[in-house]
Every structure is written in structure tokens, then in C-alpha cells.
Amino acid sequence: MFGYWGKLLRVNLTNQTYKVEEIPEVTLKKFLGGAALGAKVLLEETAPNVEPLSPENKVIFAVGPLQAVSFPGNGKWSVITKGPLTGTYLDSAGTGHWAPYLKKAGYDLLVIEGKAEKPVYLYINDDVVEIKDATQLWGQDTVSTSQMIKEELGDRRINALNIGPAGENLSPVACITCDGHSFAGRGGAGAVMGSKNLKAVAVWGTKQVPVHDKEKASEISKKLFKSAYENGKYFREHGTACAIVPLNELGDVPVKYWRDDVWTEGSAKIGAPRYTEYLKAKPKPCINCPLGCHRHVHFEYDGEKKEANGPEYETLGMMGASLLVEDLDAICMANDLCNKNGVDTVSTGAFIGFLMECYELGWLTKEQIGDLELKWGDGDVLVELTRQIINMEGLGKLFKNGIRGAAAEIGHEAEKIIVEVKGLDYPAHDPRATFGVAVNYATSPRGACHERGNVHAGSLGLYYPELQDAPADRFSVDQAAQAAYLHQSISTFYNTLTFCKFMIGDGGITLSELCEGLEAITGWKLEAKDLFRVGEAAFTLQRLINVRDGLDRKDDSLPEKMKMAALVGPRAGEAPTPHEKILDDYYKLRGWNEKGVPTAEKLKELELEEYVSFIPAK
């Protein structure tokens, strides 16, 4: 028996120094880890409105208690920073193999400050921390970078988060990759690494991390591995591509950059089972994963046979359905280009949809498009525009400040057709199919985010029997705020624990079972409602960073297209309006005032009284 504890590794790239700090148990118990601990550090340690790509911004990597042991779904890590795409608080989660290594090296948090003079990478091997030259790595793609580091360090077990050329070039949609098949994709964290001249973070950890009851933890873990494996058979067979057809049937999948409503034949062509058969797709699991949703696929493009990491549901949605592209080979090619260059496939797909719509509306100049015909459904155009966006050349230049910048530059009525919140493009779930999604996207601290509330059509009303009744009517304006409040808080808890949400939904693990696991590891007695409270507190803390920087209700917006109900299809006649009414309901549930600012009372209730001073005066 011992008190649970954690450590923070702080690296300053400007000074080339590092130090280790203790994290007291009381802090860990309140925040767990991940996106809560990271938000706490970001709030406390960065100035208001810090410029995302300046040395003053920090990039924080975080794990949580589950990474101490072998536990299903603990391959997840979070990166927390001010994001360059939105200028807001940003956290983004990746998986792969890296997360447990950081914990086993002894760290819950890795805080990176400053900026290196020239390209470097960080190498953490238990207590040894080195800032190493990355001149040779600069310009390498994400897969090569990983391999070259393993070779240089002489240990294939070493795992290195890294950025591709897009991050080096400060693309606002650059992501951070792990193992070539996992990505902290959204919001441009890769560019923050790039702005610090930080190419990679290699980690190897071998320590015995303190665990409250090792035997019990092992027993629970084994039980959950087994049950998740059994529950997840279909998911393992087809990966997230299994969701395309059923979610299209619910009207959840974006069609034609959110302008159309149904894509039945197309969805059958890109979704499972065809995806699995045509691409000879096989699972490519993250560490400690009984589900293995990531895919290894075979495809052919431009006469060349290829193997690579396969597109996920969100990528199929944004590069397939949203563009009417049925050509799986082209989608795989565009996906692979994004992955290797380290670019978010969701925003890239959204950008291309936006360009295709602008083209159709005659808003692009001959000078901008050259000879390219930006026709919906053309897989080659998808690949070519992906290249242009990655290389920030041609039409890609328009996106140097994201979709909002592109809309402003294109002019006409382009600002009316973009589908984003706070500058982050909608991912592939339509709020007209589930009203809670609208307020979820509107209020998510990093902008429109599906990782902040598994509230979309397929999940509503499921999973949390231990908590309050989950609202189950997807077309209820009255239930929308409650659905978002519940699912956001729980999802934020996952990101705080850095735990894979699929273990719950597809693996069938319950919150109570998670509590058992957590107790075995930490010794803390927790119930499902405590997990909810941790998520709620973390979410509020993240909100506080944004309101400190001047964001409020006006930034919690609903795109114009989402106010337009479909004529036919599974969500005919439905729209999540009036948005302002739903927002009012939501703010009440969250204990925020009518401007969307957390109240001092609410902070106290969530044991966040030390942050009351961060509430803006007016």
C-alpha cells in the first residue's frame, strides 16, 4: 500500500534543459491525467492569447493511470496546446504504442516549452532525457521518421511520436502521428511541434510504475480483454468502416459537403463489408487493444500496387461521402498521402468538399483552378487536391489559415457554405441526424469535435446505465442539451484518462468496470458519477482557457447548412433549431452564464475554486 503519485517531465527546447516535477496525489485524483492535467498546466502556465506557433506556447503530452498496466484501450495519449487552426484550447488524442511507454518511463505529463534553434527530436529512456539532432529527419515522412529513429537509437521497441513535412511547414492542419497508423489529427498540433523545431518524441520505458493492487488490476484487465474481444467481433472484422452504411441509413454521414442527404449506393461501395473485401483489410491493432479497429489495406493507384494504413470512418466520410467519391483506391491514396505527410484527413476532406462546392458555384477563378475540373465524385481530383493542400501549393495555398481564411479569400458567399465551429471543420456526423451533436460541436473547446461527445445517431441513449437516463430521442430539441452535456462530459473523461472510447461502445466495457480497474491501480474508490464529474471539471477548465481569451456565446455557433432540413431521407424535415434555445438549455446544465462563461459557483461546485480568478471581469 502506498499513495498514488505521478511525475511531470518538463523540457525547455530553447535552453535545452529538462526537469522532473512531482504531481501530488490530490491533483491526480482530481484531474486523473490526459486532457485535464494538460489543460490545468496550459491554463496556469501560458499567458492569455498566447500565439500558437510562438515559443511561448507549450505542447503538452499526457497519459493517465491506466497506462501503468496492461489494460484494454490504454494505447491512448493526449496532446494539449493552443491550436493554430482555431486559436483556441486544443487537445487531440492519438493511440499506437507510445502511451504506456511514457508512463513506464515514469511520466504522466511531458511539457515542452520554447523552441529549438534547429531541428531536434526528444529521446526519453526512463530517466535519461536527450535532445537530439534531427537535421537528417527534417523533411522525412512520418513512417520513415519512425524507422530512422528506431535505427539511430538501435532499438526497434522504441516508439516515436512525430510530425511529417506538413508539421514542419506549419500547416494549420498538421497532425502528430504514432506508429504510422495513429494520429492526433485535429487542430494542427503538428504545426506547434514544427514551430518548436521538434520533429519527434521517442520514448522507451521499463519502470515498474506504482500500482495499488497489481494482482487485482491484472485480473480485471484480463477479464475486460476477454469480454471486449468477444463483444467486438464485428468491429474487429471491419474496423470503423463498419459504421458507414448504418450511419448513412440514419442520415448521419455528410453527403456532398453537407448539402445532400442520402448516399445509399455510394456508402455501400466505400463502407463495410465491401471495404474489407476490396481492400483485403486486416486489423492493425494499437498496443493493448482487443478490438484492433485500425486497418492495413491493399490498394492500387496510378498503376501502382500499394499497402498502407487504411482510412477510418471519419476519412471515409469526409473524403468519400462528402465528395461523392466511391473510388476506394483514390480514398486510400489520399488518406496515405495525409498520413505520410502528417495532415488531418478530416479537415483535408472538408477543404476539398468546400472547393468542389465553390467550383460548382463558379466562385473559383481560372487562375486558381488552372485546368483542374473539380467535379464531385472524381477520385483523381481528391488525390490531386490532397497533394495541393499538403504542399500548400495551388488551391492548397488558400488554406494557410484554415477554412475560414479560404472562405474570406474566395469571397462571394463562401462564408455561408463552410461547415465549422471556431474554425475547426465538422467531422463526419450530421447534427440534423442527432440534435445533440449540434450543441456538442458548437461548444466543444477545440471547435467542432466528435471526440468530445459520442452523441451521434448511432450511440445515442446507449452505454451509461449507471448515470442518469441518457436522452434517446435524436430529433428532440428539448433533449439535445442534455445529450450533449452527458456525452461531452464522459468523452472528456476518456480523454482525461486517455482511454479508447471504443472499449465502451464496441467492446462493451462499462463505467463500473472502469472504476474497478481504476481502484485496483490507484486505490481510489470511484463510482460512475465520479468519472462524469472528472470529465465535467476538465471540460469546464478547458472552457475557461477559451473564455479567458475572449471566446463566448458568439463562438458557439451552428453553421447555416445545419439549419436547413432535408426534404427526404432518414432525417427529413429535421434541423437542430432554434440553436439559441438549445444553447440556453445547455449553458444552464453546465452552470455557465448566458454568455457561456462558467460561473464562480460552478467552479466551486467542481472543486475548481482556485480558477475563479481566471473568469473574465466582464
Q: Given candidates 392, 564, 589, 612, which one binds a copy of itself under the rule CB under 8 A?
A: 564
Q: How far apart, in whole angstroms, are the C-alpha atoms of residue 485 and residue 33?
A: 21
Comparing CB distances to a copy of itself, the nearer of 360 and 409 is 360
What is the closest distance, in whole angstroms, from the C-beta atom of residue 557 to a copy of itself in the complex? 15
Comparing CB distances to a copy of itself, the nearer of 267 and 482 is 267
SS3 (DSSP) at 130? strand
Interaction of residue 408 with a copy of itself, rule CB under 8 A? no
**Neighbour-count burial for 237-270, b at 16+ CB within 10 Å, e otherwise:** ebbbbbbbbebbbbbbbbbbbbbebbbeebbbbb
Q: Please, are residues 260 and 570 in contact by the beta-carbon 8 Å criterion?
A: no
Q: How far apart, in whole angstroms, are the C-alpha atoms of residue 442 and residue 422?
A: 8
User: How many residues of this chain interact with a copy of itself, rule: CB under 8 A?
Assistant: 18
Comparing CB distances to a copy of itself, the nearer of 413 and 478 is 413
What is the closest distance, in whole angstroms, from the C-beta atom of residue 275 to a copy of itself in the complex? 18
CA distances (Å), origin 94, targets 84, 99, 261: 18, 9, 31
Q: Given candidates 302, 572, 581, 595, which one binds a copy of itself under the rule CB under 8 A?
A: 572
Q: Given candidates 456, 561, 571, 590, which one binds a copy of itself under the rule CB under 8 A?
A: 561
Q: Which grid cell is 243?
A: 459504421
Q: Phi, psi at residue 308, to the nearest 5°? A: -165, 180
Q: How far apart, in whole angstroms, are the C-alpha atoms of residue 456 and residue 446?
A: 18
Interaction of residue 362 with a copy of itself, rule CB under 8 A? yes
Comparing CB distances to a copy of itself, the nearer of 360 and 605 is 360
Span from 72-80, 444-452, 519-527, 567-575 in contact with a copy of itself (CB under 8 A): 567-575
**Alpha carbon 263 to chain centroid distance?**
26
Q: How far apart, in whole angstroms, are the C-alpha atoms of residue 437 and residue 434?
A: 6
What is the closest distance, in whole angstroms, from the C-beta atom of residue 345 to a copy of itself in the complex? 25
Interaction of residue 569 with a copy of itself, rule CB under 8 A? yes
Q: Given candidates 412, 529, 588, 604, which one binds a copy of itself under the rule CB under 8 A?
A: 412
Comparing CB distances to a copy of itself, the nearer of 118 and 366 is 366
Q: Which grid cell is 208?
A: 515498474
Positions in 302-361 near a copy of itself (CB under 8 A): 360-361
Q: How far apart, in whole angstroms, are the C-alpha atoms of residue 446 and residue 344?
A: 14
Comparing CB distances to a copy of itself, the nearer of 565 and 612 is 565
Q: Please, are residues 281 and 310 in contact by the beta-carbon 8 Å criterion?
A: yes
Task: Say which amino acid occupies 394.
Answer: G
Span from 175-183, 345-353, 383-391, 564-572 in contact with a copy of itself (CB under 8 A): 564-572
What is the closest distance, in whole angstroms, from the C-beta atom of residue 267 to a copy of itself in the complex? 9
What is the closest distance, in whole angstroms, from the C-beta atom of residue 416 to a copy of itself in the complex? 5
Give the list of residues 6+ apart from residue 542 with CB closer than 8 angstroms, or none: 35, 39, 89, 91, 445, 492
Q: How far apart, in whole angstroms, are the C-alpha atoms of residue 40 and residue 307?
A: 41
What is the closest distance, in whole angstroms, from the C-beta atom of residue 362 to a copy of itself in the complex? 3
What is the closest distance, in whole angstroms, from the C-beta atom of residue 195 to a copy of itself in the complex? 36
Interaction of residue 560 with a copy of itself, rule CB under 8 A? yes
Task: Say which amino acid occupies 556.
Answer: D
Q: Given candidates 127, 151, 230, 413, which one binds a copy of itself under the rule CB under 8 A?
A: 413
Span from 408-416, 464-472, 500-508, 584-592 in contact with a copy of itself (CB under 8 A): 408-416
Q: How far apart, in whole angstroms, are the C-alpha atoms of residue 181 and residue 197?
A: 23
What is the closest distance, in whole angstroms, from the C-beta atom of residue 361 to a copy of itself in the complex? 5
Q: Give the CA diameter of the chain.
A: 71
What is the closest distance, in whole angstroms, from the C-beta atom of residue 265 to a copy of itself in the complex? 5
Comparing CB distances to a copy of itself, the nearer of 160 and 414 is 414
What is the closest distance, in whole angstroms, from the C-beta atom of residue 261 to a copy of itself in the complex? 8
Interaction of residue 617 with a copy of itself, rule CB under 8 A? no
Interaction of residue 103 with a copy of itself, rule CB under 8 A? no
Site string for a copy of itself, 35-64 (x = CB under 8 A): ------------------------------
Interaction of residue 411 with a copy of itself, rule CB under 8 A? no
What is the closest distance, in whole angstroms, from the C-beta atom of residue 419 to a copy of itself in the complex? 11
Q: Given candidates 20, 47, 462, 568, which one binds a copy of itself under the rule CB under 8 A?
A: 568
Q: Given candidates 208, 567, 613, 618, which one binds a copy of itself under the rule CB under 8 A?
A: 567
Comparing CB distances to a copy of itself, the nearer of 472 and 572 is 572
Q: Given candidates 228, 262, 480, 606, which one binds a copy of itself under the rule CB under 8 A?
A: 262
CA distances (Å), origin 536, targets 236, 482, 531, 539: 31, 13, 9, 5
Helices (H), 53-120: 98-104
Comparing CB distances to a copy of itself, the nearer of 374 and 385 is 374
Q: How far apart, in whole angstroms, are the C-alpha atoms of residue 519 and residue 221?
A: 12
Burial class of residue 465 in the structure, from the number of CB atoms within 10 Å of its CB (0-12 exposed, 13-18 middle, 19+ buried): exposed
Q: Please, are residues 228 and 290 in contact by the beta-carbon 8 Å criterion?
A: yes
What is the closest distance, in whole angstroms, from the C-beta atom of residue 161 to a copy of itself in the complex? 40
Q: Which grid cell is 396?
A: 492548397
Q: Which grid cell is 543?
A: 472552457
Interaction of residue 265 with a copy of itself, rule CB under 8 A? yes
User: What are 122's strand-pairing partners?
Assistant: 131, 201
Q: How far apart, in whole angstroms, are the C-alpha atoms of residue 437 and residue 454?
A: 9
What is the closest distance, in whole angstroms, from the C-beta atom of residue 427 to a copy of itself in the complex? 21
CA distances (Å), origin 193, targets 62, 116, 165, 176: 15, 10, 11, 8
Interaction of residue 417 with a copy of itself, rule CB under 8 A? yes
Q: How far apart, in whole angstroms, are the C-alpha atoms of residue 291 and residue 310?
A: 16
Q: Which grid cell is 336?
A: 496515405
Which positions lie near a copy of itself, rule CB under 8 A? 260, 262, 264-265, 360-362, 412-413, 416-417, 560-561, 564, 567-569, 572
